Structure 1
Amino acid sequence: MNSKLFGTSGIRGTLHTLTVEKAFKIGVTIAKFFEKSPIVMCRDHRRESYPVYEAVKAGITSAGVDVLDLGELPTTAMLHYLRHANAHGGIAVTGSHTPPGITGVLIFGENTAELSTEKERLFEKLYSKLEMEKTWEDVERIGKVFSISLKDIVKAYVTDLSKIVNKSLLRDFEGAIGFDACSSTAGVVYSRILSNFGVKVITVDAHLDPTFSSRDPYPRPDNLTNIARITKKLGLSFSISIDGDGDRCIFTCENGLILYGDVSAILLAEHELENLKAHIETPTIVCPVNTSNIVKYLSQRYRCKIVYTKVGPPRIVEKMVELKPNVIFGFEETGKYIYPDNVLYGDPVLATLKMIEIIAEKRESLSQLVRKLPRLYQIKKSVKCPEKYKEKLLKRMRFKWSKKKNVNKIYTIDGLRVEFKDGAWILFRPSGTEPVFRCYVEARTPERAENLSREGIKDLKRALRRLKRVSSES
């Protein structure tokens, strides 16, 4: 039996692969893994998530563990409540940023971090050995389910953030912000929390829509033109756009400029470096291998250390925990910003409040702050690729691109990142959540970026065609 469950983040699938039966078994495994009550649970509003959620919950309670049922809620909000409930684990059933039709099970420990690599393997081992032939007569105790009110959840969230943010700077902020809620469960929750801190919020697409008809649940510059237009038209200070379960956050400047996540992260990280509350011998920032070279601006200016990891929040947080207490910030270019003294997951509300602090402190607009950073040009593309070809395709890219001229450095932490002597780089990486192969490039000029991207995509498509041809002939 193949016991491989976890991808880049959590256990993903459609209802054909993440079946109700499988979800029930995952629930039983969760109960056996944590052993103690209670477990906190939430889900997004996708149609696919409902049956999986109920099956996981049934599996947990059938094994005698109690559940605190938070219902439809952003994953990050669940984690804040996990801390206050002193729960032993947290479960989010969500498709996150993936297209409709996909859902998943994210598993968090009592420290609010997703399972480490070692714990994922232990969980998979327990899952594969689990015997499901028990009858109801063999069950010693059925766990109870307790429903938690939104009022209590919001209170826990606000209490946590109140210990971290600078309320004086927040009071100095006189503008208003836009909030593109992506028709998700975060619409009402995040608006309410931001309002608790005195922030004026204009919310767009706050209604729940399991099909995400307003835009793709993965916030990217190419699908955020509507909020960019609204931000500029209404004279907002900036806007944020989240993903399907509210853990990613992309910023749009007051002039309509949409920022990649790693550009926003540089401003947020710089704010932490300038406001260290205690002496840290080697301030460290953790980010994945697909991060922009703009991060090197921080290491050069503040003499901080940059540590690269595999892509995915679990691997970033795993490294943050390992390097504690030197770590001051972690992030992913998709718009996940992680603070070590907060829940160990992407928190759009905290990132938004921190960005407000920056604008209030610097007395400059977001676009003015961005203009001070080094200008680099990124292109992010993907090629559809069935799972069975991903490993061989990566090997072919490694073989060809490692022999290129003027190569400065090669990273094989996750996929293949080739850095050139002129500062440009290209990353080939199979997605861990979707049937696609990603090709990211960055350069100091748009022409260099375009040429590098065109060459990379061309090589990917050519190699994939050859693999398919060989497969069909065998």
Structure 2
Amino acid sequence: MSRKYFGTDGIRGRANTHPMTAEVAMRLGQAAGRYFTQGLRRHSVVIGKDTRRSGYMLETALTAGFTSVGMDVLQTGPIPTPAVGMLTRSLRADAGVMISASHNPFEDNGIKLFGPDGYKLSDAVEAEIEALMENGTHLVAPGEIGRATRIDDGRGRYIEVCKASFPRGRTLSGLKIVVDCANGAAYRTAPEVIWELGAEVIRLGNAPNGENINLNCGSTDPAAAQAAVVESGADLGIALDGDADRVHLIDEKGRVIDGDQVMALIASRMAEAGTLAHGTLVATVMSNLGLERLLAERGIMLLRTRVGDRYVVEKMRAGGFNLGGEQSGHIILGDHVTTGDGLLAALQVLAALTEAERPASETCRLFEPCPQLLKNVRFDPVTRPLEDPGVTQAIAAAEDALGATGRLVIRKSGTEPVIRVMGESEDAALLERVIDDICTRVASVAG
């Protein structure tokens, strides 16, 4: 069944423009509420959000939808995405909702759904909910309308889960850490966790005003955090995105450490400790060839999935694996949480730093990345550039030119109307030429 609303990570779009409107949000609440209400007991849903102005509108609309079909709503206020998954399971709720467009600018927003187990929904379940949205739902009698309650201890519960993931008996005392919260969902949570574990904390991006989320800050624009690390002489920088489910780290020299390097470090440590399930890391097709080669040298298997941390988690659950992630900084620590968690990933790296007693520039760089180039081409959603014969010919020619020492990954983004063209090759000049050829062909038919 084709999906009308859901993309690779929930429903996302420009706020107050279809499908990211109050009307659609209310219908989604009614449909998801009807899907998850089975049996005669009271049913509940946890709703969290980031700091976007439109979050208030969508939260209210979702609450109206859920309560109108008899579901109680537990509102947490601003809280990281992984905390919603954790609270849904911890509070024995029937579903969870995170209102966030992650790393996108404040004009956008999104809605992510979680099942009672705290995991994001499968494509099949999202399709069933879409069908309910289209076909309508039955409203309950006045005496069965749900209640909405603001819960105050959600952030505190999540903070304790994060601290419990850090090695017992060890602290961050003596370390200076820059924490950039992207003016987003973790603007209070992340600095508090790092400070309570003993570090000196330099806070950035912790003054949200509804419009400055991800603006010149956070994992997608870490320049301010890089400068702060160097200027303050910090040991590490932590740059989260708007909903704190992804992270980029910054070493003491101000250089960014991406998700591939973080996964290499955590996987190696877990393999040495005998805690890496089945000796396997799950990553996506976007992860660098350098990571794959390093893991092979260390006897660690790499399994690749399509792009999206939801698909990484699905592969992890199907195979019983406990570590996965994306180059973009989504790191899933399956022994602790059900989705990507930037803060927990940063804590694992900090544990490695305290153990190694070496700077981050040495501890966190385990391989030399293979030259990789990613370019985006915007397209009119009505067009289908990847089906154009000229584009398919350009892709085939590029694959022939790269041969066995390189690779291509070309896909439509699931969060915005762009074609992402990525390639890897030891020959950087060749790589740039073939990527440019493909992008030119895509742009010529992209509307």
Q: Which moved more, 1:302-311 or 1:6-15?
A: 302-311
Is 1:50 paired with 2:33?
no
Q: CA deviation at 1:427?
A: 2.1
Is 1:257 paired with 2:240?
no
What is the match of residue 307 of structure 1? 303
**Amino acid paired to 2:416:** E
Is 1:465 paired with 2:447?
no
- Residue 262 of structure 2 aligns to a residue whose secondary structure is helix
**Amino acid paired to 2:72:** D
What is the match of residue 434 of structure 1? 416
- Residue 228 of structure 2 aligns to a residue whose secondary structure is helix
CA distance 1:139–1:310, change in 2 (3 Å): farther
Is 1:9 paired with 2:9?
yes
Is 1:202 paired with 2:208?
no
Distance 2:366 2:414 in 1: 34
CA distance 1:153–1:197, change in 2 (3 Å): farther
**Amino acid paired to 2:159:** V
Distance 2:367 2:26 in 1: 49
- Residue 464 of structure 1 aligns to a residue whose secondary structure is helix
What is the match of residue 355 of structure 1? 349
Distance 2:328 2:45 in 1: 28
Corresponding residue to 2:435 among 451, 456, 469: 456
**Amino acid paired to 1:177:** I
Distance 2:119 2:399 in 1: 41
Corresponding residue to 2:81 among 60, 75, 78: 75
CA distance 1:162–1:430, change in 2 (3 Å): same
Q: CA deviation at 1:65?
A: 0.5
What is the match of residue 233 of structure 2? 235
- Residue 166 of structure 2 aligns to a residue whose secondary structure is coil
Distance 1:60 1:299 in 2: 46
- Residue 187 of structure 1 aligns to a residue whose secondary structure is coil
Is 1:317 paired with 2:318?
no
**Amino acid paired to 1:167:** R
Q: Deviations over 1:230-257 (max 9, x none)?
A: 1011111110111111111111111011
**Amino acid paired to 1:401:** I
Distance 2:151 2:362 in 1: 43
Q: CA deviation at 1:380?
A: 2.6
Distance 2:429 2:146 in 1: 57
Q: CA deviation at 1:88?
A: 1.8
Is 1:374 paired with 2:368?
yes
What is the match of residue 283 of structure 2? 287
CA distance 1:263–1:420, change in 2 (3 Å): farther
| Contact 1:158/1:196, CA 8 A, preserved across alignment | no
Q: Which moved more, 1:254-263 or 1:73-82?
A: 73-82
Corresponding residue to 1:33 among 16, 28, 35: 35
| Contact 1:394/1:430, CA 8 A, preserved across alignment | no
User: Scaled by the length of structure 2, what TM-score is found?
Assistant: 0.91
**Amino acid paired to 2:322:** I
Corresponding residue to 2:134 among 128, 133, 155: 128
Q: Which moved more, 1:7-16 or 1:381-390?
A: 381-390
CA distance 1:441–1:259, change in 2 (3 Å): farther
Q: CA deviation at 1:440?
A: 2.1
What is the match of residue 24 of structure 1? 26
In percent, how many aligned pairs have the same letter?
25
- Residue 60 of structure 1 aligns to a residue whose secondary structure is helix
- Structure 1's unaligned 5+ residue stretches are 408-418, 469-474
| Contact 1:439/1:453, CA 8 A, preserved across alignment | no
**Amino acid paired to 2:417:** P
CA distance 1:82–1:428, change in 2 (3 Å): same
CA distance 1:43–1:217, change in 2 (3 Å): farther
Distance 1:277 1:98 in 2: 35
CA distance 1:450–1:196, change in 2 (3 Å): farther
| Contact 2:159/2:189, CA 8 A, preserved across alignment | no
- Structure 2's unaligned 5+ residue stretches are none
- Residue 186 of structure 1 aligns to a residue whose secondary structure is coil
CA distance 1:397–1:287, change in 2 (3 Å): farther
Q: CA deviation at 1:101?
A: 1.5
Q: CA deviation at 1:405?
A: 6.2
CA distance 1:180–1:384, change in 2 (3 Å): same
Is 1:333 paired with 2:327?
yes
Distance 2:445 2:214 in 1: 38
Distance 1:350 1:467 in 2: 40
Two-structure CA RMSD over aligned residues (Å) = 2.5
Q: CA deviation at 1:85?
A: 1.2
User: Scaled by the length of structure 1, what TM-score is found?
Assistant: 0.86
Distance 2:375 2:218 in 1: 14
- Residue 6 of structure 1 aligns to a residue whose secondary structure is coil
CA distance 1:384–1:118, change in 2 (3 Å): same
What is the match of residue 404 of structure 2? 421
| Contact 1:439/1:457, CA 8 A, preserved across alignment | no
- Residue 171 of structure 1 aligns to a residue whose secondary structure is coil
| Contact 2:385/2:446, CA 8 A, preserved across alignment | no
Alignment of 1:367-406 (within 5 A): 367-390=361-384, 392=386, 396-404=390-398, 406=400
Q: CA deviation at 1:312?
A: 0.8
CA distance 1:234–1:217, change in 2 (3 Å): closer
Distance 1:298 1:329 in 2: 16
CA distance 1:194–1:464, change in 2 (3 Å): same
| Contact 2:378/2:417, CA 8 A, preserved across alignment | yes
| Contact 2:385/2:391, CA 8 A, preserved across alignment | no
Q: CA deviation at 1:114?
A: 0.7
**Count of matched residue positions in the alignment of Structure 1 and Structure 2:** 441
CA distance 1:2–1:22, change in 2 (3 Å): farther
| Contact 2:238/2:346, CA 8 A, preserved across alignment | yes
- Residue 367 of structure 2 aligns to a residue whose secondary structure is coil
CA distance 1:73–1:435, change in 2 (3 Å): same
Q: CA deviation at 1:130?
A: 2.0
Q: CA deviation at 1:213?
A: 7.2
CA distance 1:121–1:163, change in 2 (3 Å): same
- Residue 432 of structure 1 aligns to a residue whose secondary structure is coil
Q: CA deviation at 1:453?
A: 3.1
What is the match of residue 144 of structure 1? 147
